[in-house]
Structure 1
Amino acid sequence: MKWIKFVAPLAVIVVGGLGTYAVVATASDETVKEALDTRPVVTVETLSPVDYTVQITSYGEVTPLERTRLAAQVDGEVMSWNPAFVTGGLVKRGDILFTIEKDTYEAALLQAEAALASAQAQLIQEQAQGRVAEQEAKSLTSGNISDLYLRKPQMLSAQAAVKSAEAMLKIARRDLANCEVTAPYDALIATKEVGVGDYVTVGTLTATLNNVETAEIMFPVAGFDRAFLPADLAQHPAVVSTAGPMATEFTAVINRDAGLIDTATRMTHLILRIDDPYGIRSGEAKVKFGTYVNVTFSGKTLDKVYRVAQELITNNQLWLLDDEGKLYAKQVTVLREEAGDFFITGDFDGARIVMTPPEYPQEGMPVKVLKSDQDLVAHRPRT
């Protein structure tokens, strides 16, 4: 039995060694099996052409179509003014803003009317005397009858006196009408310079008005957007939006191209018009002068282009997958960059684009394509 004492420990050592070898051998086989497929794992998508309408975005400040420095056209004392004739007030076209004392101009109108009546009476008298002279001339034997005898110079003088009186009457009526200063258009009162009791003379600045019938926005268009502007800009619709808690959005139209390129920024400028920005006619205010707004409008439509994420294109090259599961690079022509994507042109219909290229892709590199989300989870690196 003594030999058993020596054999048993030896057997344990041998069995343990065999077990360890089996474990190592099994692990080595698994490692070898996993290391057999060394291809990088990628995901792919199939490209399809689309027709894409370019969206151009810019910004600008809302300004009035016109600004008028309103001046007095007659001399006199300011007698009254419209309650809306205050800084920030809104008035409609034709509203009386303030009045100037009329007494002097009413008297001048009466004098002009009297002068016209007198001149017309003198003309009638001359016309009658001229007819008498013509009748008398017929009975005279002498053929040498002068224009003076026929009272033609007197007739011309009387006609001129009537025209002069009519002109003075027209001026008197105009001056009397100008005693009531009216708004030339729907307006915002930017400044008010006169009050009751002020004496104004012809040319005295009385107010500054901003036209609120129409507003304009001049906005820049960058050089890379210029090629995508629509062929016909006139009346092209655009969306105007404001930011902040009271944000608004409405549609306006592009009116014209400013016709110049800024020498400093190399940008061109377009001008957009907004009807009734203060809502005097519609009752719904849109935007105030001085507001900065965003302008968005559609440009040209790109036919049969491909939309690709920007990070997938390097040095104008895009990695694709051929039918044998190998990578190949293809040159692309980038037409436009927008919202982190490139719009490219070329023969890519049905091509498989590599969405997750290897860190160091090579031409002809074989790769393994993930076909499902489970494959993606299975091939994620373990941490």
Structure 2
Amino acid sequence: MKWKQAIISLLVILASAGLTLVMVLKPREILPVESPELIPSVQCVLAQAGMQRALLTSQGNLRSKNEITLSSQVDGVIVEMAETFAVGSVFEKGDVLLRIEKNHYEHAVAQAQGQLAAAELKLAQVEAEGEVAVRDWQVLKDMVELTPSPLMLKEPQINEARQSLAAAKASLRSAEFDLEKTIIRAPFTGKLLKKMMGTGQFVRRGEPLATMYESETFEVFLPITMRELGFLSSPAGKTAGKLSSAVEVDLFAEAGGQRWQWNALAKRLSASVEANTGVIFLIAELPRNMRQDQGNDEEMLEPLPGMYVEAEIRGKSWAESIVVPRSALGPEKKVGVVGSNDQVHLRDVEVGQLLGDQAILIGGIKDGERVVAMFREIPFDGAKVLPMMVENSVGP
């Protein structure tokens, strides 16, 4: 009986081992499973056509349009100096700044007046003598055949007297001019930059007295590249150094913890291109009337020579242009446009200007199209994408 139980146990073990071996060696059937299609999502902005204007940035230092060295027109000692004849003082056009000793010039005027009176008397006498000579000749011409000479009729004497009178008048005008110039007046409204003379000092004709500037109009030379020159709105006449129409310029200055703004106009360019840098200067002018139009004079910052300003230059405009993020622009001026079937296609565009984080497109995109905001998110041309519309923060 024991040997029968052993055989049965052995058979059970062999059957279990065989079944296990069959299960291990038999390949399992793998049922196919459909995996969902992976569609990448991309951020898109809506193209909105509108008027866009090129904007250039530059900087420079203000200067007065008219800065001069004031000189004396006569010799003499300075006997009086106005309070406004001081560095930083403001003066108005016509204000008396200096007085030069005038005694010598008053004497010269008196002498010239005496010479003029003598010349007038001399002319009157000679003209009277000439009239007598003419009457005498009228009496004698019927008695004798005689042709009167100019000398007989006092003509040379009269001409000489007239020339002497003209010279006397000129001498008087010169003396009066010198006397007038002993009072030195401000040629314009402005400020004194530097004083070179003082009371009691002797000055000679043509000697500099002070440097001053006119506060009526300031200007600033703004460097721009020759490429940026093409963005100006008035192409005609640029080669001649003159713009065919004025260019609007916004000037900004920092002072007193505030940022001040003036609106200026540029009407001309510098006469040459800087050889070292390759830039040309756009010259913007800031007249007094434009400063007054922007608010109360007492509340506005007064421009001063040498003041540093930043500038935004308003260039030409494009009527039907589209602004997109600069990140939407790829190599070779291409952008991705998502069609109605949510497929993205690469498209060539015409770029008007790249400015900061935006790109102004003037061709290649239509109003209402969906533009991929980040070019690097495009898998490939023709790819199926899941567009996610975002606000165009750089749009119009």
TM range (shorter): 0.7 to 0.9
Partners of 1:313 and 1:96 lie apart in 2 by: 65
How far does the alpha carbon of each residue in 1:269-304 deviate from its partner, in whole angstroms, 9 at most, with x for none?
21111223998x966653111001122242211122
User: 335, 341, 348: which is aligned to 2:366?
Assistant: 348
Q: Secondary structure at the match of 2:254?
A: coil
- 2:83 equivalent in structure 1: 83
1:296 aligns with 2:312: yes
- 2:19 equivalent in structure 1: none
- 1:286 equivalent in structure 2: 302
- 1:25 equivalent in structure 2: none
Identity %: 24
Q: How many residues align?
A: 341
- 8 Å contact kept, 2:247–2:315: no
- 2:68 equivalent in structure 1: 68
Shift of residue 42, structure 1, vs aligned partner: 2.5
What residue ranges of structure 1 are gaps of 5+ in the alignment? 1-28, 374-383
Matching residue's letter, 1:353: V
1:105/1:288 CA distance change after superposition, 3 Å: same
- 1:110 equivalent in structure 2: 110
User: 243, 247, 260: which is aligned to 2:254?
Assistant: 243
Structure 1, 356-365 or 156-165: larger mean CA deviation: 356-365
1:320 aligns with 2:334: no
- 2:352 equivalent in structure 1: 335
- 1:149 equivalent in structure 2: 152
Report the TM-score when normalising by structure 2.
0.79
Cα RMSD (Å): 2.6
Q: Secondary structure at the match of 1:298?
A: strand
Within 5 Å, give how 1:141-180 maps onto structure 2. 141-180=144-183
Partners of 1:341 and 1:325 lie apart in 2 by: 25
Matching residue's letter, 1:207: A
Matching residue's letter, 2:250: V
Shift of residue 353, structure 1, vs aligned partner: 2.0
Structure 1, 186-195 or 227-236: larger mean CA deviation: 227-236
1:294/1:329 CA distance change after superposition, 3 Å: same
1:253 aligns with 2:265: yes
1:72/1:341 CA distance change after superposition, 3 Å: same
How far does the alpha carbon of each residue in 1:21-73 deviate from its partner, in whole angstroms, 9 at most, with x for none?
xxxxxxxx9xx78x523222223333232221222322221111122111211
Partners of 2:378 and 2:157 lie apart in 1 by: 109
Partners of 2:382 and 2:160 lie apart in 1 by: 107
How far does the alpha carbon of each residue in 1:211-235 deviate from its partner, in whole angstroms, 9 at most, with x for none?
2222111112233322221126544
- 1:268 equivalent in structure 2: 280
- 1:125 equivalent in structure 2: 125
Matching residue's letter, 2:366: F
Structure 1, 269-278 or 100-109: larger mean CA deviation: 269-278
- 1:214 equivalent in structure 2: 217
- 2:13 equivalent in structure 1: none
Q: Secondary structure at the match of 1:83?
A: coil
Shift of residue 85, structure 1, vs aligned partner: 0.1
Report the TM-score when normalising by structure 1.
0.82
1:200 aligns with 2:203: yes
1:347/1:201 CA distance change after superposition, 3 Å: closer
Partners of 1:372 and 1:201 lie apart in 2 by: 76
1:204/1:236 CA distance change after superposition, 3 Å: same
1:307 aligns with 2:323: yes
- 8 Å contact kept, 2:101–2:182: yes
- 8 Å contact kept, 1:42–1:357: no
- 1:24 equivalent in structure 2: none
Partners of 1:356 and 1:72 lie apart in 2 by: 69
- 2:48 equivalent in structure 1: 48
- 8 Å contact kept, 1:78–1:101: yes
- 8 Å contact kept, 1:112–1:168: yes
Q: Secondary structure at the match of 1:261?
A: coil
How far does the alpha carbon of each residue in 1:183-215 deviate from its partner, in whole angstroms, 9 at most, with x for none?
111121111111111011112211111122221
Q: Secondary structure at the match of 1:243?
A: strand
Shift of residue 265, structure 1, vs aligned partner: 2.6
Partners of 2:93 and 2:168 lie apart in 1 by: 32
Partners of 2:388 and 2:301 lie apart in 1 by: 56
Partners of 2:375 and 2:181 lie apart in 1 by: 80
- 8 Å contact kept, 1:72–1:206: yes
Partners of 2:388 and 2:139 lie apart in 1 by: 127
Shift of residue 322, structure 1, vs aligned partner: 3.0
Partners of 2:368 and 2:374 lie apart in 1 by: 18
Matching residue's letter, 2:50: V
Within 5 Å, give how 1:227-242 maps onto structure 2. 227-231=230-234, 234-242=245-253
Q: Secondary structure at the match of 1:247?
A: strand
Partners of 1:82 and 1:214 lie apart in 2 by: 25
